[in-house]
Structure 1
Amino acid sequence: MDPKMTENFTLNDNETLSGTNDTLASEIPTENVYILPWWQQTLWSLAFGGMVLVATGGNVIVIWIVLAHKRMRTVTNYFLVNLSLADTMVSTLNVIFSFSSMLNGDWPFGRAYCKISNFISILSVAASVFTLMAISIDRYMAIMHPLKPRMSRVTTLNITLWIWLASSILSLPNILYSTTIKEEYSNGDYRVICYMIWPDGPTTQSYTEYIYNVVILVLAYILPITSMTFTYFRVGQELWGSESIGECTPTQMEAIKSKRKIVKMMIVVVFIFAVCWLPYHIYFLLAHHHREIISYKNVQHIYLGIYWLAMSNSMYNPIIYCWMNSRFRQGFKKVFMLCFCQRRENGINLYEQRHQTFTRYSCSEAYTDTRVTFNGNINVPLHTVTETFNGSRKSSSPFLLPKYGHREQRLSNV
C-alpha cells in the first residue's frame, strides 16, 4: 500500500474523489513526482531483492528440513514450519509487488491483486505473531508443567488452522475495501494507486481505518508481545533461576541445556520481530494524527526504509535457526553442500570405482558361497581353505587362487 497519497484522485469512471466533501482541489499535479532516479531505484532494488531471496530461500529450506527429516518433526518445529510458510507468503506474494509499486508510485497489477496483496500483508504478519505466541505457550507448558501431556500432532494442526482463520478474519477488511484509483496529471500522464476506501472516506481521512490500525496494533503486536514476554520470563526463571534438589544426572543436564537453547532461540526471534515491526505500526498511527507527514520531501525513502525493516523480519528467522540450533545448522549445511557433493561423486573416475569394488567387496564376498573338497573334507567353504592355506589370511585374495575350472582338482592335490 502506498502511503503517500494526494487528496484528489480520478476514479476509473472519471469520478473525482476529493479530500473534502464539498470542494474539488484547485490544483492538479503536473507530473508523477514519485518516480525515483535510476540509481536510487537500483540501490533499493538490491536491498529488497537480496531480502526476498534470503527470506524465500531460507524459509523454504527450513520447511524442507522439518518435513523431510523424521527426528525434526516436533511440536515446536511444526509451528516453525507454519511461521516459515507465513514469511514465504509475504516475501513472494506481497513484497515483490508492493515494492515494485513504491518505486514509481504506480500499481500495474490490477484491482484484484491489489485486494489479494493487501490481504496477504496483514494475514502473514498476524499468522506469524500468533504462531510465535503458540510456540511460547507450548514452551511454557513443557517447562513449567512437565508432567502434563504435550500437544499432539492433531492438536498442533488444529491450533495452526485456528491461527490462519483468526488471521484471515483480521485481514478481511483489506479484501472488502481495497481498490485501484487512477490519478491523472496535467501533462496527460497518470498513475494507478492500490488504495483503501473505507465507508467513511479514503485512507488517512477515515476514522474507521484509524480504529482498524489500532486493532491491528493491539491484537497483532502489543498483546502477543506482552504475552510472550511474560511466558519467556517465567520460563527463564525456571530454567536459569531455580535450583534442583539433589545432583542432576548427565541425562537431566543435557535435557536442561537443550531446553535452554530452544528458549534462547525463540527469545531472539521474538525480540527481532518486535524491533522490526514497531516503526511500521508507529508510522501509520502518526500519519493519521499528523497528515503533513505524507507530504514530507523524503517520505518515500523513509517509508521504504520502514517497510524494508518490517518485511526483512521474514529473512532473519532462518538465519537465527541456523545460528542457534545445531540440527537446523546441519540441515542448511546439507543443502548448501549438496551441489558440491554431487559434483564430487560424479567426478570419481572408472579406475577409482573398480579399485573400490575390488578392495571393498572381492576379498570377502565374491567366493563366500563357493565350497570345495580339501584334505578329504567335503563341502568346506573356500574362504576357510584359503585362510588355512600357508597359515596366512593374505592367501584369501582371489588373485592367488587357481582359475574356476581347476579349483577343486588343484586344492585336492595339496
Structure 2
Amino acid sequence: MTAADYRLSKFLAIPENLRNETESVLAQCSANLTSPETLNAACDSCNATGVQRLWEERLCDMPPTPGFDSAVYVLYITILIVAVLGNSVVVYIVCSSEKMRTVTNYFIANLAIGDLCMAIFCVPFSFISTLILKFWPFGGHLCVAVNYLQAVSVFVSAYTLVAISLDRYLAIIYPLRPRMTRCQAKIIIASVWVLSLATTLPVAVYSRLLTPPVNFYALMGRQVCTEDWGSEPSDNESRVAYSVALMLLQYFLPLTVLVFTYSRIAMVVWGKRTLGETPARVDRIARSKRKMTKMMVTVVMVYTLCWLPFNVLMVVRELWVVDSWPYMMQVWALFHWLAMSHTCYNPIILCWMNTKFRSGFCSLAYTLPCLRRWVDSWFFTPDEADLLKATTTFPCHHYPRSASSRLVTISLKDDTIIFKSRNINEDEPETSEAPRHRNSSSNDSNHRLSESLMSEPANHNSNQ
C-alpha cells in the first residue's frame, strides 16, 4: 500500500545470482513461449535447471511451502469475512439508533468505515496479486484506484484514532469546557478524509502497470501494479523521502499523539477526584470514564501491535537489501496479514468492552434464529438464561412467530441484564408477568437480575 506497493515489487524481482544463472538458458529456449506449460516443456527439453528454479521459486502454482501458503489463504479469507461483517454491524448500530449517535460513536463509525474500506481494497487485491498470481490481473484503472484507496483507508483509520484520543483528552482533562457537538464531529470526520486523500495523492499519480526487469515477465506478458517514480537518482531520492514521510504520518506520529493523550487521561481518571461532587456521583462518573478509557487504550494497543512489524519491515527494506533473504516472501505475507487483521479486531473489542454495542450485537443476533442460542450461552450465565426464559416470552424458545409475538429488547447497563417485552401489535395490551418471590438462597447476580425484571410489574401494580 502507498509506497509499500513500490517496495512490494522488489519481492517479485529475481535475485541477481539467479537471474544471471538463467540468462543464457532463457536465450536458448525462450523463442515464442507464451504459457507456463510451454516454458516448462522447453526447459525440460533443454535441461534448463535455472529456469526451472526460477519458475518453482517465484511463479509456480505449487509453492515451496504449501503448508504455510494454505494457512495464509485461510487466514486472509477469515479476516476478510470477519472485518466486512463486523464493521458493517458497527456502522449499522450507530446509524440505526438515535441514542447511539454520539460524538464518540460517530468517530467509532468512521473508524469502522475506514477498516471496512481497508478490508475490501487491501486484503483481496494484495492477496490475489501478490500471494496467488504473482502479477496484477485487474487492469490499469483498477491499479491506480486500488492503490490509492488502500493508502486512503489506512490513513483514515490512523487519523480517526487520533481524533478519538483528542476528543477524550479534551473531555476529561478540561471537563468545564463545552463538549464537542455532533456537527463539529462531522466536520472533523470530513477533515480526516480530505487530509487522507491529499496526503496519499502521489500514490495515485505514480501508480501504474509495469513489466519488471525479469525475462520471465517479458516472456509471459505479465505486469505488476506498482509506483513508478522514474529511473533518475533524484527520482529515487524523492521516492525514499515520500516513503519515510508516509511511515511517519501513518504510524509513528499518530502513535506519539495516542501515547501522550491516553497517558494523561489515565493519570486523571485513575488519579485525582473532581471537587464539589458527592462520592457516589464521583465514583459513577469515574467508572464510566475508566470503561471508555480502557476500551480505547485497548484499541490503540491492538493498532500498535498489528502495524509495528510491517512498518519495521518497511524501514529495514529502505536501509538494507533484503530481497534475496530466505523466506522473505513468507515474512512479508505474515506481517502484511497481521497489519490487515487489525480491521477485524475493533468490532470484537467494542462487543466485548462496550455494553451498548454489545446490546446492539445481541439484538441483531436475535433476529437470526441460528444465533439465539449462541447469544444465550455466550453473554449470559446458565442461571441468568434460565431466569430470563422463565420470566420473559422469547419468540425463539419454542414459540412460533406471529403478529402478536413478543420481541426481546436487550439493554445492558452497569453489567445488569434487563429484558423488556414489546408487543408487535400495539392494540394488544401488554400482559407479561414476572415472579414476585425468589428463593432466599439465590446468588447475588440472580437477585439483582430478578429485581430489574420485577421493577416494571411492581410499579404498574402500585399505580393501580
1:344 maps to which of 386, 390, 396: 396
2:107 counterpart of 1:79? yes
User: Which one-letter code corresponds to 1:98 in the other structure?
Assistant: S
Count, aligned residues = 340
Q: Is the 8 A contact 1:210 1:285 kept in 2?
A: no
Match of 1:168 in 2: 197
- Cα shift at 1:106: 1.3
User: Which one-letter code corresponds to 2:98 in the other structure?
Assistant: K
- Cα shift at 1:297: 2.8
Bigger mean CA deviation after superposition, 39-48 or 219-228: 39-48
Gap change, CA 1:148 and 1:244, over 3 Å in 2: closer
Gap change, CA 1:349 and 1:304, over 3 Å in 2: closer
CA distance in 2, matches of 1:332, 1:186: 48
2:263 counterpart of 1:233? yes
2:223 counterpart of 1:198? no
2:316 counterpart of 1:268? no
Match of 2:216 in 1: 185
Match of 1:68 in 2: 96
2:157 maps to which of 128, 134, 137: 128
1:296 maps to which of 312, 322, 325: 325
Match of 2:127 in 1: 99
CA distance in 2, matches of 1:186, 1:107: 11
**TM-score when scaled to structure 1?**
0.75
- Cα shift at 1:174: 1.1
Bigger mean CA deviation after superposition, 273-282 or 311-320: 273-282
Gap change, CA 1:229 and 1:187, over 3 Å in 2: closer
SS of corresponding position for 1:179 = strand
Match of 1:283 in 2: 313
CA distance in 2, matches of 1:6, 1:27: 18
- Cα shift at 1:214: 1.0
**TM-score when scaled to structure 2?**
0.67
After superposition, residues 211-250 of structure 1 pair within 5 angstroms as 211-245=241-275, 248-250=278-280
2:50 counterpart of 1:43? no
Gap change, CA 1:285 and 1:187, over 3 Å in 2: closer
CA distance in 2, matches of 1:200, 1:156: 44
- Cα shift at 1:311: 0.7
Identity level (%): 32
CA distance in 2, matches of 1:172, 1:136: 26
Q: Is the 8 A contact 2:155 2:196 kept in 1?
A: yes
Match of 1:390 in 2: none
Match of 1:58 in 2: 86
SS of corresponding position for 1:348 = coil
- Cα shift at 1:200: 4.4
CA distance in 1, matches of 2:204, 2:232: 16
CA distance in 1, matches of 2:401, 2:318: 69
- Cα shift at 1:253: 2.1
- Cα shift at 1:235: 0.9
2:329 counterpart of 1:322? no
RMSD: 3.1
2:362 counterpart of 1:307? no
Q: Is the 8 A contact 1:200 1:207 kept in 2?
A: no
CA distance in 2, matches of 1:349, 1:150: 45
CA distance in 1, matches of 2:294, 2:68: 38
After superposition, residues 362-377 of structure 1 pair within 5 angstroms as none
Gap change, CA 1:336 and 1:235, over 3 Å in 2: same
1:252 maps to which of 282, 286, 300: 282
CA distance in 1, matches of 2:311, 2:88: 27
CA distance in 1, matches of 2:123, 2:112: 15
Q: Is the 8 A contact 1:213 1:285 kept in 2?
A: no
Larger radius of gyration: 1
CA distance in 2, matches of 1:152, 1:186: 55
CA distance in 1, matches of 2:360, 2:202: 40
